[in-house]
Structure 1
Amino acid sequence: MSSRLNEIRMRDPFVLEVPSGGFVLFGTTDTNLWGGPATGFDCFTSEDLVTWEGPLQAFRPPAGFWADTQFWGPEVHGYDGRFFMLATFASSNPESGPRGVQVLVADEPTGPYVPWSDGPLTPRDRPCLDGTLFIDDEGGPWLVFSRGAEGVPGGAAGPADGEMYARPLSRDLKEAAGPAVLLFTASAAPWSKPLWFPDGVEPPEELNLAKDPLFTDGPFLIRSEGGRLHMLWSSFGEEGYAMGVATSAGGLITGPWVQREQPLWARNGGHGMIFSDPQGVRRLVFHWPNETPDERVKLISVDVSDRGIQLRT
């Protein structure tokens, strides 16, 4: 079945450029995405970024899989001759532990993907989400992820504060290779505001969010041609869900990270990533608007330079 992007309902889109040609679009595709029983992840393929074929079944949980809900934010990277998916999973069984990011693997870009790591590679003391892969200058892989403010009540100092972390991984992406390192908190960005919903829109009860939390999600890392390391990430701003940019002052994944004063995209859309089209133009893909079930995939052009990430006008 052929579709245009404005016809595909999807959150957290991620576009993989296939080495042999063409593109694969992944994202959160479950109907019961907040807390109902999960189905898996679907994907779509395209040769021109205009017409997309699908959906194709990229991942369906095998028998005995530990998670059964909140299948979110799949992203796929070609690495060591195979394709690795990093995705968020949760279980309705408290004994299975909190939500976390697990690594899956496939021999083909569209899958089928199967579990690779033994459960989540994020810390198990608090719910985590939205993992992205970063390879440092020595070839060492890192998992960059968000740790939510859920279950952490705000006090006199203000709302609960979401956090962004990086954790080194083993070369085969199967295991954590060290402790997680705090990169920054949501409150470090001047544009980040406490979570809010428009009048008449109730937040999903299944999220069990602390009252008025600041939060981080949707990290994606990219280097400029001059070697500057930038991170695209999402939170809430004055106009709803938004994307901001942070830059590593030292050029390392561990930072220190300097936040851009204003969001890159402020108008009720986010969880984006950047890739290059066949003409070499940088493209930002994200979901907009943020309300379920109206989310659609949006694609716009951007410039990436030592100064940061800018929307093309």
Structure 2
Amino acid sequence: MLSTVAETEIEPMRLPDMPLHDPFVVADDRTGTYHLYTSNDPSVSGVDGIGTMVYRSQDLRHWTRPRVVFLAAEQQELWGSDGGWAPEVHAWNGRYYLFTTLHNEDRPLPVPPPGHYGTPFRLSNHMRGTVTAVSDSLLGPFTVVDSSRPTPPQHLMTLDGTLYVDPSGQPWMVYAHEWLQTVDGTMEAIRLAPDLSRAVGEPVFLFKASDAFWLGEQIPGGVPHQLPPYVTDGPQLYRTPDGSLLLLWSTYEKNVAGQDGTIGGGYVQTYAVSESGELTGPWRQRRPLLRDDSGHGMLFHTFDGRLMMIVHRPFDDARGKLYEMRFAGDELRVLRQCTDLDGGG
């Protein structure tokens, strides 16, 4: 059963104490409450199972214990029972839609041939993709719209679907096509039906991870390093005050990690700008906003009008980190880390 704990009776939590990965914030003007969605963690929610939980706050400083709003095990004949990654909640036509990524290792997908793009990795693919679930409340419970398949084409190994509505009112799902299937991961989009129940038509290619011109800049010349894979992760679309269209995304950047010249790397938060202002681009890559193993960020406005970005850091045992942001035309800039809220680090 979903969580019914009276969170107001429990001592508030702070971001440094809140396990979370792939954070997504909905600022609900009606209640003056921030809703912070992330994958269910039984150690803090008290509920076992793959799903989604939500922390709540009115000041971004003090948060309720998380409430579980979606459980895969409670869905009828759901195709995937693992994952529960990257939950997002979007208001659409008077209801709330949860997007979250599931997978099923018992349903294999095609893999690139050995040596494809020169990769030294042994690839093993299985069914993975974003499902759509609906509720009348930000607190759920959310029910999957179609239990038989993910929303993107099921023969593609995808993740991190997000909602974008174009100027004509057409809804799209933008998602990352896994490097495990493509080697050079891509960002793609597909039209959605008006009720968000299914994909319509064929996927549209936006860009590939290796388009990020700065990848590998931290590796000194002459140091041998791996070729692909190149990772795409965590898209979010945002229309700037001057009308430009931005796409936030994350990847992994290689660098020299040890004195012996071994190659390491870290999670990176970056973004791209559409030269046409349309979803179809072409997309021009910008330099990273954050390194330090930070990523899967999204933008939201506080109730007093500040532009904020939340990311998780580090990738393992992640916590939420908040940054105040601003735009200079189509350039997104970090003003400061809100260490008074997120504890620094």
Q: Tell me, yes or no, whether TM beats 0.5.
A: yes
Distance in 2 (alpha carbons) for counterparts of 1:256 and 1:270:
23
TM-score (norm 1): 0.86
Deviation at 1:71, TM superposition (A): 1.2
Say how many residue pairs are matched.
285
**Residue 242 of structure 1 aligns to a residue in which SS?**
strand
How far the C-alpha of 1:38 sits from its partner, in A, is: 4.8
Q: 1:175 aligns with which of 198, 202, 214?
A: 198
* 1:279 match: 304
Amino acid of the residue matched to residue 297 of structure 1?
A: G
Q: 1:249 to 1:151 in 2, by over 3 A?
A: closer
The amino acid of 2:39's aligned partner reads T
Residue 289 of structure 1 corresponds to which residue in structure 2?
Answer: 314
AA matched with 1:272: G
2:62 paired with 1:48: no
1:112 is aligned to 2:141? yes
Rounded Cα–Cα distance in structure 2 between residues aligned with 1:45 and 1:185: 35
Given that 1:233 and 1:245 are in contact with CA atoms closer than 8 Å, whether structure 2 keeps it comes out as yes
- How far apart in 2 are the matches of 1:309 and 1:271? 16
Aligned to 1:140: 170
**Residue number in structure 2 paired with 1:205:** none
Match of 1:130 among 150, 153, 160: 160
Per-residue CA distance 1:137-189 (angstroms, 9 max, x = gap): 0110010000011145xxxxxxx200000111111100112111010000001
Counterpart residue type for residue 300 of structure 1? Y
Preserved contact between residue 242 and residue 330 of structure 2 (Cα < 8 Å):
no
- The equivalent residue for 1:259 is 285
Matched, 1:223 2:233: no
1:92 CA displacement: 3.2
Equivalent residue runs for 1:1-313 within 5 Å: 1=10, 2-20=12-30, 21-30=32-41, 38-61=49-72, 62=74, 63-94=76-107, 98-118=127-147, 119-152=149-182, 160-193=183-216, 213-237=229-253, 238=255, 240-260=266-286, 262-290=287-315, 292=316, 294-313=317-336
Indicate if the aligned counterparts of 1:122 and 1:128 stay in contact, CA closer than 8 A. Answer: yes
1:123 is displaced (CA, Å) by 1.8
What is the TM-score normalised by the length of structure 2?
Answer: 0.78
Cα displacement string for residues 185-239 of structure 1 (whole angstroms, at most 9, x for unaligned residues)? 0000113359xxxxxxxxxxxxxxx985111000011111110000110001245
Aligned partner of residue 235 in structure 1, secondary structure:
strand
Letter in 1 for 2:230: L
Secondary structure of 2:132 counterpart: strand
Q: Deviations over 1:236-287 (max 9, x none)?
A: 1245100111000000011110001x21111111001000011100000010
Q: Secondary structure at the match of 1:99?
A: strand
Could you list the runs of 5+ residues in structure 1 that have no partner in the other structure?
153-159, 195-209
Q: Deviations over 1:16-41 (max 9, x none)?
A: 01131211100123479xxxx95211
Q: After TM superposition, give the deviation of residue 95 of structure 1 in Å.
A: 6.8
3-state SS in 2 of match to 1:230: strand
Q: C-alpha separation between the residues in 2 aligned to 1:245 and 1:269?
A: 13
Q: State how far apart, in whole Å, the 2-side matches of 1:297 and 1:305 are.
A: 25
CA contact (8 A) 1:30 1:71 kept: no
In structure 2, the CA distance between the partners of 1:247 and 1:81, relative to structure 1 (3 Å rule), is same
Amino acid at match of 2:323: I
In structure 2, distance between residues paired with 1:266 and 1:19: 32
Aligned alpha-carbon RMSD (Å): 2.3
> Share of identical aligned residues, percent?
34
Distance 1:31 1:73 in 2: 16
Structure 2 Cα separation of the partners of residues 123 and 56 of structure 1: 31
Q: Conserved in 2, the CA contact under 8 Å of 1:249 and 1:256?
A: yes
- Give the 3-state SS of the residue equivalent to 2:210 in structure 1: helix
Partner Cα distance (1:9, 1:192) in 2: 29
> Is the contact made by 1:38 and 1:70 (CA closer than 8 Å) also made in structure 2?
no
Distance in 2, Cα, partners of 1:31 & 1:259: 38
